[in-house]
Amino acid sequence: MALGLKYKNQEHIFEEKTVDGVPYLAYPLLEKTGVVRHGFSTRLGGVSTGHCATMNISTTRGDDPAAVEENRRRIAKAIGVRAENMTYTNQTHTTNVAVVEAKDRGKRFMETDGMVTNVPEICLVTFYADCVPLFFVDPVHRAIGLSHSGWRGTVGKMGKVTVERMREEYGTDPAQVVAAIGPSICQDCYEVSEDVIEKFRENFDKALWPELFYEKADGKYQLNLWRANQAVLAEAGVPRENIAVTNLCTHCNPDILFSHRSTGTARGNLSAFLALIP
């Protein structure tokens, strides 16, 4: 079914899929690798009620645990993974990246914003409500990574940290990585203060500043996390043609995607999923 999402342009970056009434988003670029199952959830297709309605699998939003479990079962079936194989982050805007081994199946990693693995069927899961999801697939060494990158993670170059961790653990060549920058808040919607921009000035080349942010008459700035993360991945050595950059803003679609800027803390979380095919 068509979800009615408002995209920033007409590029075919996402495919909207629905399985048994559960919609999710997938990237044709990642699917072409032939080695992963993946997806990004919407607010639709679950059983949660109230501020978490309806598809929320996060246990940190005050949702009914029984609803969370049913939602996990539904989204796992839709994407083609097992709910018991889902392995999670407890995100705190760090650049900590965990190495997920077979014994970690189903675990929640504390103080962690990214995970990498080469274990088939383990499904990496991270959570969002405006911050940037980063997907990484190494089809040569059959390794994957999934990371959460808000403005702090982007300043800390979480994308590069994740690629380097994959190189250290699995021999990943950044030139062979296929990556995706997921649904998150767009520059038009993301107003930040001078202190945030100072961090970007300190950590990004001056030549990039006009693409990353601009100042408004009131002294506030509009920040482009999509372009910033694309620059981080390029710095890590991932080729431009291997990066799918989102054209979908969470804040522009509050009825279909959870957005912190839209509803504050009274909300569920969106989730990103990534697993190696056996």
Number of domains forming the structure of the chain: 1
Asked if residue 137 is part of any domain, the answer here is yes
For residue 1, what pLDDT is reported?
Answer: 65
What's the mean per-residue pLDDT of the chain?
98
Asked if residue 147 is part of any domain, the answer here is yes
Asked if residue 272 is part of any domain, the answer here is yes
Asked if residue 4 is part of any domain, the answer here is no
pLDDT band at 223 (very low <50, low <70, confident <90, very high): very high
Residue 155, pLDDT > 70, answer: yes
Asked if residue 204 is part of any domain, the answer here is no
pLDDT band at 264 (very low <50, low <70, confident <90, very high): very high
* Average pLDDT estimate for 55-80: 98
* Average pLDDT estimate for 207-226: 98
Asked if residue 213 is part of any domain, the answer here is no
pLDDT band at 239 (very low <50, low <70, confident <90, very high): very high
| Per-residue tokens: 81 | 């993974």
Asked if residue 235 is part of any domain, the answer here is yes
* pLDDT tens string 111-143: 999 999 999 999 999 999 999 999 999 999 999
Residue 41, pLDDT > 70, answer: yes
Q: Provide the b/e sequence for 195-220 (b: ≥16 CB within 10 Å).
A: ebbeebeeebeeeeeeebbeeeeeee
How many other C-beta atoms can be found within 10 angstroms of the C-beta atom of residue 63?
Answer: 22
* Average pLDDT estimate for 30-35: 98
- Report the distance separating Cα 258 and Cα 272, nearest Å: 13
Residue 217, pLDDT > 80, answer: yes
Asked if residue 215 is part of any domain, the answer here is no
- Which domain, by its residues, includes 256? 15-186+226-276
CATH classification at residue 150:
3.60.140.10
* pLDDT tens string 87-99: 999 999 999 999 9
